[in-house]
Amino acid sequence: MTRTHEIVPGLPEGDACPCGASVEQALQILEGRWKASVLARLSANPTLRFSELRRAIATVSPKMLTEQLRELERDGLVRRTVFPEVPPRVEYALTADGHALIPALRALREWADTRSHR
């Protein structure tokens, strides 16, 4: 079998991704069917409640939306704020890292759009 470093000149042996580990790590953080949709909705609105996100992304199940929000919060892209009210109110917003990611997501969308027109 041909090794990656033999195909791509200058790539050190053992490095599986010619784009680098940092890109691979970023893609792992974004892995998930609904994460890009959540980030897009939150980039267009300063804060959204769970029910508003659920309505905006009608095809996502509540369980999956909860899971994706927890992962985005864990990875520092989304901030969850709980207000001590009855009933409790929870709002989601992008963190500084989440806002910094939006231009890259827009560029990725533009790239995908150009490919779909081929």
Q: What is the pTM of this model?
A: 0.78
pLDDT band at residue 20 under the 50/70/90 scheme? confident
Average pLDDT, the chain: 87
Q: Which residue has the tokens 């053992």?
A: 14
Which residues lie closer than 8 Å to 72 by C-beta, 6 or more apart? 35, 38, 39, 78, 98
* Residue type at position 73: E
Q: What pLDDT is recorded for position 5?
A: 47
User: In the chain, what are the domains?
Assistant: 47-118 (1.10.10.10)
Rounded CA-CA distance 54/46 in Å is 16
The secondary structure of 59-91 as a DSSP string is TS-HHHHHHHHHHHHHTTSEEEEEE--SS-EEE
